[in-house]
Homo-oligomer: A and B are copies of this chain.
């Protein structure tokens, strides 16, 4: 698949009808746009009918047009620059009803994550986290938000926790310099993968730390350095990387870890409740007379 798909389409040229050849030509030259077009739009773009496009998909070996489209989307995962993403946006999302479309796409991403996530990796990750001497969490670029969220809750559960974060003062590598065997490193990275995250994960593995990667697939560049992989669908919405499914996965990780440390957390939260009250952190619920 993938690259081969384009080669294959080119190679089949001789066997295709004239209309199908137009489709093939368009796909090979504009696959980054074709990947987000419906059969109807693709047909319109090259001047053939929707059904010609659908037959074309079967002709070249796919079980329907949606499968062909999915294959094209896989092909360009992580290959588009942000500027190219802007270009394909109108094909994918359009300008009307953006809100409903984005929410639907995000639901679909969580659903596909639920289908594909590996429960054994998830359990093994929970065990490793509970056994860790020191836990390091890393998220760069848009994944920094996910890392902050995970850190926020883990900080209520664990003493031995560090959020590795780039700052004006400090480089990522200086913060993981002391890492070693017995520690757990949790890198969070999604396409377009941050280069520093990959380098840091490679380094972490070399220190003997247990690495739990939260990423998008087995093909992620951090995969070779991970002891456990937790994968969530992050496909882009237009120029935005949707991190909704990864966030849902992280929710599950926090809950699963929390359930295992229930007793301690219960105690911690009773103490924190007093601190929060003293510092007026949260709004007090109103006498409910709504």
Interface residues of A (CB under 8 A from B): 1-4, 75, 78-79, 81-83, 85-87, 89-90, 93, 95, 98-104, 106-107, 110-111, 113-114, 117, 119, 122, 139-142, 144-149, 151-153, 155-156, 159, 165-171, 173-175, 177-178, 192-196, 198, 219, 221, 237-240, 242-244, 247-249, 251-252, 254-256, 258-259, 262, 265-266, 268-273, 275-276, 279-283, 285-290
Among residues of B, the one whose C-beta sits closest to the C-beta of A180 is B159
User: Are B148 and A194 in touch, CB under 8 angstroms?
Assistant: no
User: Are B280 and A195 in touch, CB under 8 angstroms?
Assistant: yes
- Picked from B1, B168, B192, the residue with its CB within 8 Å of the CB of A290 is B1
Q: How far is the CB of A162 from chain B (nearest CB, A)?
A: 8
Q: How far is the CB of A81 from chain B (nearest CB, A)?
A: 5
**11 A-B contacts (beta carbon < 8 Å):** A1-B290, A81-B269, A83-B266, A99-B122, A99-B252, A101-B252, A110-B244, A144-B169, A149-B243, A151-B169, A240-B255
Known: A140-B168, A195-B280, A244-B247. A255 touches B103 (CB 8 A): no
Contacts of A240 in B (CB 8 A): 153, 251, 254-255, 258
Known: A99-B252, A159-B178, A251-B244. A86 touches B237 (CB 8 A): no
Interface of A is mostly: helix
User: Are A177 and B271 in touch, CB under 8 angstroms?
Assistant: yes
Task: Give Cα A66–Cα B282 distance, bound, in whole angstroms.
Answer: 30
Contacts of A101 in B (CB 8 A): 252
Among residues of B, the one whose C-beta sits closest to the C-beta of A280 is B195
Task: Give Cα A82–Cα B268 distance, bound, in whole angstroms.
Answer: 9
Task: Give Cα A195–Cα B240 distance, bound, in whole angstroms.
Answer: 30
Given contacts A103-B249, A104-B114, 17 further A-B contacts (CB under 8 A): A3-B290, A81-B269, A83-B269, A86-B265, A98-B256, A100-B114, A106-B251, A110-B110, A140-B169, A142-B169, A144-B168, A144-B169, A145-B148, A148-B148, A174-B272, A240-B251, A244-B244
Contacts of A169 in B (CB 8 A): 140-142, 144-145, 148, 151-152
- Picked from B75, B83, B113, B273, the residue with its CB within 8 Å of the CB of A82 is B273
User: Are A103 and B107 in touch, CB under 8 angstroms?
Assistant: no
- Picked from B149, B170, B237, the residue with its CB within 8 Å of the CB of A255 is B237
User: Are B285 and A78 in touch, CB under 8 angstroms?
Assistant: yes
